[in-house]
């Protein structure tokens, strides 16, 4: 298990997610077309409004691997697997295809290109460990089973965590992976035949990224509804768009069965699956993300002949109760949704904070003085420009936000411990603990 900031912070993080504070994390995705570069967009799930944040590419790209994106919980950078097509010298209509990963700064739109996975033919189902900011993915070019890789963006290199021939990779664009950061496990949704059934039913593979060991848990529906039991046990049950709730230790997923209704489900550590909500089946696509800080699911269902001319709805759902919080109609489509859970990670995991603080390339030399403060006046010092400051209570509530400043005045704050996060102009951030004594 992780080392937390303090015992109080561990409890605070639990309260943070269960109390459902009003502030939420950002949802990011990709908007692409045939005639312009792929844009990184921020989605407001309450209004369906999109804000252009940056470009995944500085030119039109041939292919994006859907289901292969994630957000770094330390830096807040958006990562996505793409492919570059280079014309062959002797035949301009034939191409050499190279898999790469692009990382986009969600604050200033700049990108970095990584090619460390090239020898493995590119990974997919990318996931970050919120505890330490390490990146993992499944090898796309290894076809006899699943090979889990650890990728180091700082060096552009990758290494094999383990090979698992008893399960098969999922070669669709859906999201079949998540990460359990508390227990440092890569979570992969698979299907396998069971002796008593003639159809493939879902199972969850939990892969320990430190030991390489894997545990398979068959998924079983828990319901008094005879129809649901019959559908689950006699049809091809397809679970996708999976997320992991680190507070309740549960897998969240979208359950689709043939042309039946689309259901949002929760799967506990024993493999027991319960239905949280259900909606009419979409004809053009489905996406789902999970906001760890608020405990809310954001679900999009689109209908139409194809995704380019579809309309649909965005639903916000309480993951604890299944209650629908809001819904809004949309005609805008962005792919590869990801939720920036960096604030949640900084509160819940010590290393998510200290790894940023101790990294000389990103910490900006941030200092607070005096600390403790008795009058709420704090001088801010940093070695690079500070773009914004956020002060949060130990329960995760944002109490103060400021644009870049050299002095932070907080006379209204009561005695206690607070987290001060500075975001720098280059997109990096640093977090410091501040004590207020009255």
pLDDT of residue 219: 94
**6 lies in some domain:** no
Residues 214 and 98 in one domain: yes
Q: How far is CA 13 from CA 68, 251, 292, 343, in A?
A: 28, 19, 10, 11
Where residue 288 sits, what CATH number does that domain have? Answer: 2.120.10.30
Domain that holds residue 388: 349-436
**10 lies in some domain:** no
Percent of the chain with pLDDT over 70: 78
How large is the average pLDDT for residues 183-189? 96
Inform me whether the pLDDT recorded for 47 exceeds 50: yes
Predicted TM-score (pTM) above 0.85: no
CB proximity list for 430: less than 8 A, separation 6 or greater: 356, 357, 362, 363, 364, 366, 382, 421, 422, 424
pLDDT of residue 122: 63
Q: How many domains does the chain have?
A: 2
Residues 295 and 412 in one domain: no
**100 lies in some domain:** yes
Q: How far is CA 56 from CA 26, 62, 81, 304, 384, in A?
A: 17, 12, 10, 27, 25
Partner residues linked to 97 by β-bridges: 85
Residues 196 and 312 in one domain: yes
**303 lies in some domain:** yes
pLDDT band at 197 (very low <50, low <70, confident <90, very high): low
pLDDT of residue 15: 36
pLDDT of residue 401: 85
Residues 262 and 400 in one domain: no
Residues 311 and 428 in one domain: no
Where residue 422 sits, what CATH number does that domain have? Answer: 2.60.40.3080
Inform me whether the pLDDT recorded for 273 exceeds 90: yes
pLDDT of residue 357: 40
Residue 312 in tokens: 């649909």
Residues 361 and 325 in one domain: no
pLDDT of residue 425: 81
**144 lies in some domain:** yes
**35 lies in some domain:** yes
pLDDT of residue 16: 35
Residues 317 and 387 in one domain: no
Residues 294 and 414 in one domain: no
pLDDT of residue 308: 65
pLDDT of residue 20: 35
pLDDT digits (tens, 9 = 90+) for 322-344: 999 999 999 888 889 999 988 78
How large is the average pLDDT for residues 260-268? 94
| Residues 135/128, Cβ–Cβ less than 8 Å | yes
How large is the average pLDDT for residues 11-28? 49
Average pLDDT, the chain: 79
Select the highest-mean-pLDDT range: 186-200, 220-234, 263-277, 384-398: 263-277
pLDDT band at 6 (very low <50, low <70, confident <90, very high): very low
pLDDT of residue 221: 95
pLDDT digits (tens, 9 = 90+) for 72-125: 887 778 988 877 666 777 877 776 667 778 888 887 777 777 765 554 456 789
Residues 271 and 383 in one domain: no
């Amino acid at each position: 298990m992780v080392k937390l900031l303090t015992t109080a912070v561990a409890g605070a993080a639990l309260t943070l997610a269960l109390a459902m504070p009003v502030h939420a994390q950002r949802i990011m995705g990709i908007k692409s077309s045939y005639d312009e570069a792929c844009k990184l967009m921020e989605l407001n799930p309450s209004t369906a409004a999109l804000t252009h944040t940056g470009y995944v590419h500085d030119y039109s790209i041939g292919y994006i691997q859907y289901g292969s994106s994630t957000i770094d919980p330390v830096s807040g950078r958006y990562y996505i697997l793409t492919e570059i097509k280079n014309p062959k010298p002797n035949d301009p209509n034939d191409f050499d295809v190279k898999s790469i990963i692009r990382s986009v700064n969600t604050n200033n739109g700049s990108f970095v290109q990584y090619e460390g996975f090239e020898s493995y033919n590119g990974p997919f189902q990318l996931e970050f460990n919120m505890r330490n900011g390490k990146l993992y993915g499944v090898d796309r070019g290894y076809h006899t089973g699943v090979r889990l890789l650890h990728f180091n963006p700082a060096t552009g290199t990758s290494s094999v965590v383990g090979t698992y021939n008893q399960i098969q990779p999922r070669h669709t664009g859906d999201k079949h992976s998540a990460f359990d950061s508390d227990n440092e496990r890569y979570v992969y949704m698979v299907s396998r035949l069971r002796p008593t059934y003639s159809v493939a039913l879902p199972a969850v593979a939990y892969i320990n990224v430190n030991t390489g060991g894997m545990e398979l848990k068959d998924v079983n529906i828990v319901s008094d509804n005879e129809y649901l039991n019959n559908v689950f046990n006699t049809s091809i049950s397809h679970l996708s768009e999976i997320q992991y709730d680190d507070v309740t230790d549960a897998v969240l997923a979208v359950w689709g069965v043939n042309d039946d209704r689309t259901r949002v489900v929760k799967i506990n550590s024993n493999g027991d699956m319960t239905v949280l909500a259900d909606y009419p089946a979409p004809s053009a696509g489905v996406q789902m993300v999970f906001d760890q800080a608020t405990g809310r699911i954001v679900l999009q269902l689109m209908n139409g002949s194809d995704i380019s001319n579809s309309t649909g709805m965005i639903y916000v759902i309480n993951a604890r109760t299944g209650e629908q919080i809001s819904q809004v109609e949309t005609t805008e489509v962005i792919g590869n949704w990801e939720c920036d859970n960096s604030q949640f990670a900084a509160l819940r995991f010590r290393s998510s904070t200290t790894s940023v603080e101790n990294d000389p390339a990103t910490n900006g030399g941030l200092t607070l003085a005096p600390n403790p403060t008795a009058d709420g006046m704090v001088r801010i010092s940093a070695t690079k420009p500070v773009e914004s400051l956020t002060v949060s209570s130990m329960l995760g509530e944002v109490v103060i936000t400021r644009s870049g400043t050299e002095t932070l005045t907080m006379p209204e704050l009561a005695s206690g411990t607070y987290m001060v996060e500075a975001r720098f102009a280059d997109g990096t951030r640093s977090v410091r603990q501040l004590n207020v004594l009255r």
